Amino acid sequence: MFAALPAFSETSLRQAHTAFWRDGYVSLGNVLPPETVDVLRGRIHAIMMADIDPAPFFFQHDAASGRYEDLAYGSGFCGPSLAYRKIEKLERDAVLRGWIDHAVLAPVVRTLANPEFVAPPVVTAITLYRAVAWNKAAGGGTELPWHQDGGLFWGIDRPGVVQLWTALDDAPVAAGCVEVIPGSHAWGLATPQGGTIPDPVVAPHLAATVAIPARRGDLIALHNYIWHRSGRNQTAAPRLAVSVSYLDGATRCTRQRYKPRTFLPMFES
């Protein structure tokens, strides 16, 4: 179902690289045809509704309040529902793996991984940190606070390479599209732990916020350190997306409490 996807040209990759390292994000255009989006979207819905065995995946349901502070942790799958906030381990599904590991994404990830534009890219070995479905049910979802995807919490010995965010539903501003503060990736970590950014740290920069509305099939690249957030879905339609975080293949897990993770190689076929 991915056979007809067009490759990114060297010119388009160069332009994307410039924007990515300047702003911390770049919209890569509408890359998936509607029929492919339908397959991926339907697959995730089938996982949420237990039409596909939910056991291999990690789930977190939305809180009824929509408040991030009220989310329940460790509950996992709690029955068929289209109101799960996130589903992780998507790479365990062969159909979804077909997009996460698709060859058309390889030059994008490898190019954006390098602060300088190099053709062919220097970083060749890429691994997977996580592949997640982010869902905001119609008229619901969670208000996600300003945060960065890095720091001690991530348990790796170097920052992540790049994240690719694919819209499987339209994501207008009212539906809780991704919002960013351009250039914030260059400021490093707001806290050593990473994750949520304290309100007093964010407040002076809020006027620079940029919303990134998306159409189904759009692809957006995000630097791990860019400050980003999303609001609740105030529309009558769902807002589903897939976010994939890639690593330099040399990255190692630094956690001590549990057995260190190994990271799945990408783009090897």
Would you give the distance in Å from CA 166 to the centre of its chain?
8
Cβ 243 vs Cβ 40: under 8 Å: no
- pLDDT at residue 269, as a whole number: 72
Nearest one of 141, 164, 163 to 62, comparing CA atoms:
141
Cα separation, 15 vs 10, whole angstroms: 9
Examine the pLDDT at 160 and tell me if it is beyond 90: yes
Q: What percent of the chain has pLDDT over 90?
A: 85
- pLDDT at residue 106, as a whole number: 95
- pLDDT at residue 67, as a whole number: 82
pLDDT digits (tens, 9 = 90+) for 110-156: 999 999 998 888 778 999 999 999 999 999 999 999 999 999 989 99
Q: What percent of the chain has pLDDT over 70?
A: 99
Cβ 186 vs Cβ 224: under 8 Å: no
pTM metric for this prediction: 0.94
Cα separation, 72 vs 55, whole angstroms: 18
Examine the pLDDT at 258 and tell me if it is beyond 80: no
- pLDDT at residue 69, as a whole number: 80
Cβ 225 vs Cβ 125: under 8 Å: no
pLDDT digits (tens, 9 = 90+) for 38-74: 999 999 999 999 999 999 999 999 888 778 886 778 7
Q: Is 149 helix (H, G, I), strand (E, B) or coil?
A: coil
Cα separation, 269 vs 267, whole angstroms: 6
Q: Is 178 helix (H, G, I), strand (E, B) or coil?
A: strand
- pLDDT at residue 70, as a whole number: 67
CATH 1.10.1530.10 fits 10-253+260-266, yes or no: no
Side-chain-facing half-sphere of 80: CA atoms under 13 Å: 7
Neighbours of 63 (CB within 10 A): 17
Examine the pLDDT at 32 and tell me if it is beyond 70: yes
Cα separation, 209 vs 232, whole angstroms: 16
Give the helix/strand (H/E) hosting 59: strand 58-61
Per the prediction, the chain carries an average pLDDT of 94
Measured between its terminal Cα atoms, the distance across the chain in Å is 17
Cβ 129 vs Cβ 156: under 8 Å: yes
- pLDDT at residue 71, as a whole number: 75
Where exactly are the structural domains of the chain? 10-253+260-266
The residues, ordered by sequence, that sit 6+ positions from 67 with a Cβ below 8 Å of its Cβ are 142, 143
Binned at pLDDT 50, 70 and 90, residue 1 comes out as low
86 bridge partner residues: 60, 134
Examine the pLDDT at 188 and tell me if it is beyond 90: yes
- pLDDT at residue 240, as a whole number: 98
Q: Which of 45-59, 172-186, 252-266 has the lowest mean pLDDT?
A: 252-266
Cα separation, 99 vs 170, whole angstroms: 18
- pLDDT at residue 5, as a whole number: 84
pLDDT digits (tens, 9 = 90+) for 198-229: 999 999 999 999 999 999 999 999 999 999 99
